[in-house]
Each structure stands twice: as structure tokens, then as C-alpha cells.
Structure 1
């Protein structure tokens, strides 16, 4: 969801800046101003003295400007923290049967799962990322497949071997996984 919001916001801001900057450049180079243009021509100033000082003496002007800028800063900070926030799961709660439970480091489970997935037949490289909550972890697996491997077979081996072993060893009821398969780049084989 955040990835979609991020892309839409960047697209809207980029399009607005492109349209505004392109129209300023075009008018500055001598093109006739568009119908929505707020100035008369290329030698017109951006803000006249009357426009800059129009609401300066009104009591609502400065609080409104400060509030709008504060909202923009808060939205920008929220956006930045949402992008930079760590999404990696630090630990997984393993049910030990005594009611207490034990904590398993997320990096350890990622490492073991990536190693086992990387040892599957035809897998050149595996990368595992653990997300979710510590009581209900989820995985994102990226497999780099050799050219001769059937993706369906590789996915079947991943789910029945590596993911099942990880789920059973951590004592989890389920371990949902998002798997992305990608083929190794290779040169074309010569047919004789």
C-alpha cells in the first residue's frame, strides 16, 4: 500500500513540476503564455509588490501560512519515516509449550532459510526477507534460477522443503511466503 502511495505521490508531484517548469521555460524563451498563465508575458514579475503585501496586515494571514507549512513539513516527515522505516522482522516468538516461549532471531531464520533455498537443485542464489509480526511472520523469497530449471518445480521444492522445514523448526502454524523467481542471465546456446 505504501509503495503505491509513494509512487502516486511522486508521479503527481513530478508531473506538476514538469508542467509548471516547462511552461515557465517556454514563456521565458518567448512562447505565448498559456490560457491559465497568471502573468502577461515574459517580462512580467512573478510577484508584484501589491501581491506580496496584500494580506500582510490581516490577522489570519500569518497563522494560516504557518499552519499550512507545518502540515506540509509533518506530511513530508511522515513520508520520509515511512520510507526509511525498517520492515525486517527482528525476532520470531517460538512456542516452547511451557507458556513462556522463546525468541528466535529473525536474521538467523532468514539465513537458514536462504541457505536451504540456495541449495535446492537449479537455484543459483536465494534471498529471504522476514516481515510481519513476531507471532505471525511472513517471508519474501527471491530465487535466482539457472536456465535449465522449471520454475514450477523450483517453487514446489521451495514450499515442500525449505519453507516447510523453517515452519516446523520454528513451531509456526503457518509461514506465508511471497516468492519471486528470476532467471540467471546467460548467453544463447548454439544449436547445431
Structure 2
């Protein structure tokens, strides 16, 4: 199992605009159309990665808990589906339903959005404030397959809670670790 860390995009970076197809609704979704009143969480995930599979229930729970508080969520898969067919859009839609995702699960076929966010792995989390400035990037929590640490969403929850209280998010942030994004061959 490859262990690729996040690239840790600089804090304060403005969220890159995007328009991507939502594999669940079939609609094209833009960053502006899903932007939250208080915060926006962009997650790079995929279907097949065991790091993502471990935390899917917690991702779904956090989205249900924080959405009523003005936090919007969107997941993006940027993997090369030619070489990783289990991450194909129709299977993304099936996975979203199975996991109970209440947020769009977007397909980044060109991989341009992953590059704009400097995403490196799945899962990779980005939290933007109401002005779409980056305040958190990195891990959900310390849980990894086979490390025995329970999945709690601690790091992401702490960042969201600070933001919702109007406090600065701690700049002590740990990179996520996961499967590297499956880039298309050039």
C-alpha cells in the first residue's frame, strides 16, 4: 500500500474555481454553486483507496453534522479511470449512495482541478473560510488502515469548530497520508 503525503498548499490560498460533473445528480457543479456560508470543505477521494474506504463513514457523518451549521462539502475524484476502472463515474455514484454521502461526488476527468489544488493523495482535505481562503489542509485524523487508531475526524472537526467559533484555525496541521492520485500518463 503506497503512502503518499499531502503537498500542503499554503494557508491563505484562494480556492480554485471549478465546474465538474456530479456523478450523483448528473448536474455540472461549480465551486460558487456549492460554497458554504461559513466554510467549504473540498475532499479529494476515490472509490478504491483503502485509506478512503476506512474513513468514508466518518466523512458522511461530518458532512451531515456540519452542513446545517453553514459548512458545504464536495468530494472530487481525479484518478485516471482508464487504468483504475473501479473509480469510474458510474461506480462513484454507486459508492456515494452506499456511503450515504449528502454532498456532490465530482469527477475531475482532466485532472486540472487536482492540479489547481496541488492535491497529491486520497484522501486529501481542504477547508476554506467564508471568503474561500484556505485555513486548513491535511488529514482527517490519525487513523490509517492497520494502525489501530480510531476514526474520529478529530483534525478536520477541530478546524471546522475553530472557524465556526470565529477563532483562528491552528496552523499546526498534519498532512494526510493515502494512495497517490492516479495521474494519467503524459
Give the TM interval when normalised to the shorter protein: under 0.3
Q: Which structure carries more strand by proportion?
A: 2
Give 1 or 2 for the bigger CA radius of gyration: 1
* Higher RCO, 1 vs 2 (CA within 8 Å, ≥6 residues apart): 2
Q: Which structure carries more helix by proportion?
A: 1
